[in-house]
Structures are given as C-alpha cells and as structure tokens.
C-alpha cells in the first residue's frame, strides 16, 4: 500500500513476493540501481540486520511484534530485538514509522525520540483514523487524520487491520509531498499481494483467501473480518505452524477467540504431511482445539480434518448458498488451500464441486505417478 501511494508521485520499485527472504530486497535494489527509479520499497523483516551488508534506508517501518515464528525466536522479546536491528539500518536523518498501539513498538519512541513517527487507530497517535465504517466484503471507509490534514478513503479490502496499512501509507505520503488527492487515489487503487486477503464472489458464496501465514494475531483478525460479513460465516482454519512450545496454548486461546466471535462453522485443518516435527505439533494443536470446542458444543459447529485436500470431498455437504467463507492457512500448505479455493470458486451446486474435485484428484494422482517413474529411473 505504501508503494501504491508513493507511485502517485515517484517512479517506484517494490518487493514482489512480499516474503521475508533476501531476494525481496536484493532484486528491487538491483532494479533501482540499474533503472530510473526514485524510490525503492523493500520487505524482508525476518532477516538479521547484519545480512543486509552496507544497505541503509531513509524510511523504516515496523508494523507489529506478533506471536509468529516462535519455533525460531522463542519469545516476542527476541522478535522485538530483531525488529530493532532492522530499524537500525535507517540513516541518521531518516524517519521511522511504527504502530504506536503495539505494546512493543511504542517503546521505539523512547530509543529514537526525534525520528519516530507514531501511527495507529488511537486518537492519541499523530497519524490516526476517525469515522470508521465497516463495509463488510467491500472494505472499510474512514478518515485519515494528521493535525489539519484529513482525507476520507475507502480501503478496498475487508478487515479493520488494513486501516493501519492505510495510516502508515498516509503518513509517509504526507511527509514526502504526496497530495491528499493522490494519497486517496493510491489507497483506493491498492491491490493485495499474492495470498493475502484475496476476495472472490461466485454468485453463490463469498470467499476470502488468506494463506500467506497463520498466526494468532492474523487468525483473530480473520474472525473479526468474517463476523462483519453477510450470510452464514464459515472459517476454514489451518493449524498455526512454527509456534514451538507455545503451540497448544496459542491454539487454545485463538480458538476461544473464534468461539466468542460470530463464526457459525469452524473447519479446523491439521498439518499432516508437512514434516514429522510439525505433525506432532499439529496433533497437540488438534487435541487442545477439540478440548476447547467440547466446552462450547452448543455455541459453535465444528469439523476437523487432517489436511486441506480432505475438504474437497467434505465441502459439497456443508457449504450452502449465501455463505461467507474465510480460508485462513499457513504458507507451507498454501498450494493445497488454493485448490480448496478453486473448488469453492467453481461452486454453482454440489454437482459442480464434485466435478472440480474429481478432476483435481485425477491430476494429483497423475503427478504422483510421474514422480514415481522419475524416481525409479534415477
């Protein structure tokens, strides 16, 4: 969204895959040096600052310190240390933009008081939102405000969490001379990146596909978004991976949150087949989810399956016309979840889904047979 706003004034190159890998800053950096680009926007926050070499930036942005990748980082404190390291790549005269409502990121202002810009949905923030109107599947309308500067925007993606993306884009746009009209145009023409909150309407059901990652914060946001949509609310929720020793606790807490939302049907999907370690974690996650569901048997309809492709046979019997469906899964299984979305997009009636599923399964079996032949040849 920052790229969408700044491109209204500057020639911009940005990370394309939007994943935490080195290629996500090296490729656009190369394009920036070899092409006529004024601005480069790089997303690669999981890396150690030392991996960037002599790279420095004029702007640094931190969005949140959530409970993700705990298998590697163990605690949010260590994630925060990594974030501070990346923010340290900012040049002395640069500016740092952080979500001032995040319990960790608000501490950044104490470390760098002169260069920090605070944004957030609280009116206490320098850049904040007012007059929020949730438009359901059509997105969110709100005013973005800084002092006497105010612009009304319709963010074309469902979910209140996208207000923060709009706020930091608004803040950077203002500070770099983008007009309010162009900020509005940039935000309202924004398109989500691959695997993030893609919206599909089939005429029978509405679908949101979000399988970039699955963490407690993002699943709670998904439940909140789904609760605002029309019709019966169905969440397909893949087990949250890479949570280490916090797997059971965070799954149970997240399930409790879903139960207290307006979700009508929860379809919980295990991570069978990823690898042995995650299989064990998924079993523990499944046990604690089932335990929590049993305590709310009268509140929430619940189904659990072992892996996403198991849904291909299940969906015709459970999906109804008018349903709003949120598909929320981890990136390690996004190809399987995407096949589920393709089946849902072809939903005209149960016979149509069965046809799509049959073709998909035949293709999968053919691919497995070919792989077997190549392995035998080797």
Look at residue 131 in the predicted model and tell me its pLDDT.
95
Distances (CA, A) of 124 to 112, 128, 146, 275: 19, 8, 11, 46
User: What is the span of the domain harbouring residue 249?
Assistant: 198-367
Domain count, the chain: 2
Let me know if residue 376 belongs to a domain: no
Same domain as 140, residue 251: no
The CATH number linked to 230 is: 3.90.190.20
- Asked if pLDDT for residue 376 goes beyond 70, the answer is no
Crossing angle, helix 162-175 and helix 180-188, to 10 degrees? 150
- Indicate if the pLDDT at residue 172 is higher than 90: yes
d(Cα 66, Cα 246) in Å, to the nearest integer? Answer: 13
Check pLDDT > 90 for residue 189: yes
d(CA 205, CA 348): 9
Q: Is the residue at 310 inside a domain?
A: yes
Q: Which of 1-15, 22-36, 38-52, 91-105 has the highest mean pLDDT?
A: 1-15
Same domain, 172 and 229: no
Q: Are residues 254 and 159 in the same domain?
A: no
Instruction: Report the distance separating Cα 197 and Cα 191, nearest Å.
Output: 10
Euclidean distance between CA atoms 66 and 97, whole angstroms:
17
337 found inside a domain: yes
Provide the token pair at 145: 């405000």
Question: How far apart are the C-alpha atoms of 81 and 65, rounded to whole Å?
Answer: 10
Confidence of residue 38 (pLDDT cuts 50, 70, 90): confident
Q: Is 13 a domain residue?
A: yes
For the segment 352-362, the average pLDDT, to the nearest whole number, is: 51
- Residue 215, domain member (yes or no): yes
Say if 59 falls within a structural domain: yes
Whose tokens are 């709009």? That residue is: 166
- Residue 219 near residue 235, CB atoms below 8 Å: no
Beta bridge partners of 327: 209, 236
In a domain, 275, yes or no: yes
Confidence of residue 351 (pLDDT cuts 50, 70, 90): very low
Mean pLDDT (whole number) for 333-351: 75
CATH assignment of the domain containing 142: 3.40.1190.10
Mean pLDDT across the stretch 65-78?
73
Q: Where are the beta strands (DSSP E) in 100-232?
A: 116-119, 128-134, 140-146, 149-155, 198-201, 206-210
Do 217 and 181 share a structural domain?
A: no
pLDDT for the residue 164: 94
Please report which confidence band the pLDDT of residue 256 belongs to, taking 50, 70 and 90 as the band edges: confident
pLDDT at 84: 81
Q: 170 and 45, same structural domain?
A: yes
For 107-136, how does the pLDDT look when each residue is reduced to its tens digit (9 = 90+)? Answer: 887 776 678 899 999 999 999 999 999 988
Domain boundary, last residue among 140, 168, 188:
188
Least confident of 121-130, 169-178, 354-363: 354-363
Q: Retrieve residue 234's tokens.
A: 């169905």
Q: Are residues 160 and 286 in the same domain?
A: no
Least confident piece of the model among 83-92, 107-116, 224-233, 286-295 = 286-295
Question: What average pLDDT does this structure show over 35-43?
Answer: 83
pLDDT at 378 over 60: no
Share of the chain above pLDDT 90, in %: 24
Q: For 217, how many CA atoms within 13 A lie in the half-sphere containing its CB?
A: 12
Residue finishing a domain among 188, 216, 233: 188
pLDDT exceeds 60 at position 159: yes
Over residues 310-317, mean pLDDT = 85
Mean pLDDT value across the chain: 80
* Average pLDDT score over residue span 73-80: 79
How many residues are listed for the chain in this entry? 378
pLDDT at 350: 46
The answer on 216 and 147 residing in a single domain is: no
Q: Do residues 48 and 143 share a domain?
A: yes
CA–CA distances in Å: residue 270 to residues 141, 173, 238, 306: 36, 42, 6, 5
d(CA 236, CA 340): 10
Q: What is the token pair recorded at 154?
A: 């319709």
CA dist 226 and 287 (Å) reads: 25
Query: Do 214 and 299 share a structural domain?
Result: yes
Which letter, b or e, does each residue of 104-117 get, where b requires 16 or more Cβ atoms within 10 Å of its Cβ? Answer: bbbebbeebeebbb
More confident residue, 47 or 334: 334
59-68, 321-330, 369-378: least confident range: 369-378
- Are 263 and 293 spatial neighbours (Cβ–Cβ below 8 Å)? no
In a shared domain, residues 27 and 63: yes
Where is 225: in which H helix or E strand? helix 216-227
Kindly state whether residue 372 falls inside one of the protein's structural domains. no
- Check residue 143 and give its pLDDT: 96
pLDDT of residue 129: 96
Among candidate residues 159, 188, 217, the one where a domain is terminated: 188
Same domain for 104 and 39: yes
Please indicate, yes or no, whether residues 225 and 167 belong to a single structural domain of this protein.
no
């Amino acid at each position: 969204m920052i790229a969408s706003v700044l491109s209204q004034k500057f020639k911009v190159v940005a990370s394309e895959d939007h994943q935490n890998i080195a290629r996500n800053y090296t490729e656009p950096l190369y394009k920036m040096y070899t092409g006529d680009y004024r601005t480069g926007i790089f997303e690669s926050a999981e890396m150690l600052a030392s991996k960037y070499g002599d790279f420095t930036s004029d702007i640094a942005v931190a969005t949140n310190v959530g409970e993700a990748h705990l298998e590697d980082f163990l605690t949010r404190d260590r994630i925060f240390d990594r974030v501070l390291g990346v923010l340290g790549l900012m040049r002395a005269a640069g500016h740092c933009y952080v979500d001032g409502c995040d319990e960790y990121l608000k501490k950044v202002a104490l470390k760098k008081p002169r260069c920090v810009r605070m944004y957030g949905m609280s009116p206490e923030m320098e850049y904040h939102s007012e007059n929020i109107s949730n438009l359901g599947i059509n997105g969110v309308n709100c005013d973005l405000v800084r002092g006497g500067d105010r612009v009304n925007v319709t963010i074309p993606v469902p979910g209140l969490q996208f207000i923060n993306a709009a706020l930091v884009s608004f803040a950077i746009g203002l500070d770099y001379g983008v007009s309010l009209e162009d900020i509005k145009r940039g935000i309202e023409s924004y398109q989500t990146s691959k695997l993030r909150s893609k919206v599909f309407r089939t005429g029978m059901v509405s679908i949101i596909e979000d399988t970039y990652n699955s963490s407690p914060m993002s699943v709670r946001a998904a439940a909140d978004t789904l609760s605002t949509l029309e019709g019966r609310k169905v969440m397909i929720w893949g087990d949250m991976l890479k949570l280490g020793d916090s797997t059971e606790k965070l799954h149970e807490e997240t399930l409790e949150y879903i139960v207290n939302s307006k979700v009508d049907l929860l379809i919980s999907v295990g991570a069978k087949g990823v690898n042995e370690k995650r299989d064990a974690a998924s079993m523990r996650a499944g046990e604690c989810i089932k335990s929590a569901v049993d305590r709310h048997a009268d509140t929430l309809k619940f189904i659990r399956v072992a892996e996403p492709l198991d849904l291909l046979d299940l969906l015709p019997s459970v999906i109804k016309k008018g349903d709003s469906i949120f598909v929320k899964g981890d990136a390690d299984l996004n190809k399987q979840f995407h096949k589920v979305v393709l089946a849902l997009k072809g939903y005209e009636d149960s016979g149509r889904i069965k046809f799509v599923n049959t073709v998909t399964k035949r293709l999968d079996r053919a691919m497995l047979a070919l792989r077997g032949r190549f392995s035998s040849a080797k």
